[in-house]
Structure 1
Amino acid sequence: MDQKLIAIDLDGTTLNKDSLVSSKTKAVLLKAINAGHIVSIVTGRPNRMSENIYDELELQSPMINFNGAVGHLPHKKWDKEYELTFSKEIALELVAAKAKLGIKIIAAEGKNIALVDQPNNFIPNFFPTTLKPNEILNRQNLISNPSAMTMLVDKIKLPYVVTELKKEFGDKLNIGVWGGANPILELSPKGVDKSHGIRFLAQNFNIDRKNIIAFGDEHNDFEMINYAGWGVVMQNGTEQLKSVANDVTKYDNNHDGLAHYLEDYLDLAE
């Protein structure tokens, strides 16, 4: 079998509902690597919230963070590393217009940036609940351009905020609305998505598009699933994403859907 690039999303895909990797998933991914395939994490998460999973899976491959905006080799200096960003002035403008727009919390992040404008009393475990002075999003601390911004907004004002952001910054930013219970917006550099990340990985490893297998479940996986030679959507994935998939897993992320599928697809079962 040709060498495959296996691109794996984390939340809702590789991870179960408790944000953990099961022993089955880890075992199958290690089998795939030992069979000569490349496994790479391609996630919307920042590197600071995914390197622990990278280490747990014993990966040596590059990782893609912030939905394609950052590609790097964790814990190593790498001359092919990239980081795509947008102007820090946009972040500062949004902090200034926060009350008018109906934004509750704003975070600006990059490979080496993690700043939030105020402590989080809204969503557990999502934004920090306490901040040191150097962790506050302001002009003094934001000295380089971010790769992503995440904002919790007033649910009633969500459509208004999206419209205003598209009007003001639509030529510079992608504006994504998260699925799930909380009204969260994600801003990223214009034209950058997970397909950018997997194209970069495929070129780096000299792998044809037809030999890319991608696994995902949510709206931010759309371009990656669409681009991959074989795009697989989780049983628990959105209907919109399933509409562009080559296949759907039999089991969801709480029942090792990715692992069972990959075991069959690559004939890894003993």
Structure 2
Amino acid sequence: MQLKDKLKKRLILIDLDGTTLKDDHLTINPITKNALQDAIKDGHTVCICTGRSLKDTIHIYNELELDSLLVTLDGGHISDPVHKNFKRIVLPISEEVTKSILQHPILKGKIENIIVEYYHTNMIQNSADNFFIVDANAEVPVQGDILKDWKGPCSNLIIKLKTNLNFINIVDTLNAEFGNAVKVKSNLIYGVENIGEKPILIITNKFVNKGFAAEMVAQYYNKDIKDVIAFGDQMNDFEMIKTVGYGIALTSGNPKLKEIASGITELSNDAGGLGDTLNKLLK
């Protein structure tokens, strides 16, 4: 894959886990880090677009020395951490809907743990079970009884079930009953698969996806979406990869994502595939 105009200043959208970050979910391969920082020096704009919350992302944003918009919660939250010129966009789930889902009869006796995330805070039901944490540098959420202690809307509701019995029926039932407000996804936290005896439900506002976020960020920076480059590795990157002009999947990523990508990296995320491919595109 080649860019039509290498002199054009690009918007570059990067997923984190499995894409920018190595498999330890902590570190960035020097090839990738240097390529991103070189792109910024050359006048391109780099924006993180991740499923993580702001609290779990800001240290990586700072490590890369970014000052651009930041997309978190798979597009559920778009903010401007440095300049504060962009009025944040938050796509919420109401407190009423959140608690109605948690009290739904189909989930009775089946919930092992819960985490609720909003743009500036998060809460976990049982902090001893860190089922969602992939980054030791991320800020640990407060512990609380979600039904009693959580007040107001949320952007993300993550539910760990005790069993996979009737799991598909649970997903279908919740989507059918709450589909006007939310969408229920399964088994992907920050792009990391969690398939097994205790499956995961990820519930977001129905309009949340990275494709919507890509269009919003491109509009803000006055970039034609056809000129935008995006890197991702899992199905939460699907809309973003499909929406932009140059959607690139990691070779170590989901096969279904590779099918719709404009290109595929030669190297894995661990080996610096994002940086290697970006260098080849821009230089």
TM-score over 0.5 for the pair: yes
Identity of aligned residues (%): 31
Note if 1:64 corresponds to 2:71.
yes
Asked if the contact 1:101–1:161 (Cα under 8 Å) also holds between the matched residues in 2, the reply is no
Distance in 1, matches of 2:86 and 2:251, equals 38
Scaled by the length of structure 2, what TM-score is found? 0.86
For structure 2, the residue ranges without an aligned partner over 5 or more in a row are: 1-6
Corresponding residue of 1:165? 174
The offset of 1:142, in angstroms, is 2.4
Change (3 A) 1:70 1:125: closer
Corresponding residue of 1:91? 98
Distance in 2, matches of 1:165 and 1:13, equals 31
The offset of 1:170, in angstroms, is 1.5
Corresponding residue of 1:52? 59
The offset of 1:113, in angstroms, is 2.7
The offset of 1:191, in angstroms, is 2.1
Q: For 1:34-183, what aligned pairs fall within 5 Å after superposition?
A: 34-74=41-81, 77-97=84-104, 99-100=107-108, 102-121=110-129, 123=131, 125=133, 135-139=144-148, 141-153=149-161, 154-179=163-188, 180-182=193-195, 183=199
Partner deviation per Cα, 1:53-88 (whole Å, 9 max, x = no partner): 001111110100001110002255444221111211
Scaled by the length of structure 1, what TM-score is found? 0.90
Distance in 2, matches of 1:122 and 1:35, equals 40
SS in 2 for 1:253: coil
Asked if the contact 2:186–2:200 (Cα under 8 Å) also holds between the matched residues in 1, the reply is yes
Shifted more, 28-37 versus 182-191: the winner is: 182-191
Asked if the contact 1:105–1:120 (Cα under 8 Å) also holds between the matched residues in 2, the reply is no
Corresponding residue of 1:256? 272
Corresponding residue of 2:9? 3
For structure 1, the residue ranges without an aligned partner over 5 or more in a row are: none
Asked if the contact 1:67–1:194 (Cα under 8 Å) also holds between the matched residues in 2, the reply is yes
Partner deviation per Cα, 1:26-69 (whole Å, 9 max, x = no partner): 11100000111000000000011010100111111010000111
Distance in 2, matches of 1:76 and 1:106, equals 34
Distance in 2, matches of 1:137 and 1:11, equals 27
Distance in 1, matches of 2:77 and 2:35, equals 26
Corresponding residue of 2:30? 23
CA-atom RMSD in angstroms: 2.2
The offset of 1:167, in angstroms, is 1.8
Change (3 A) 1:68 1:122: closer
SS in 1 for 2:217: helix
The offset of 1:158, in angstroms, is 2.1
Distance in 1, matches of 2:12 and 2:141, equals 37
Corresponding residue of 2:215? 199
SS in 1 for 2:260: coil
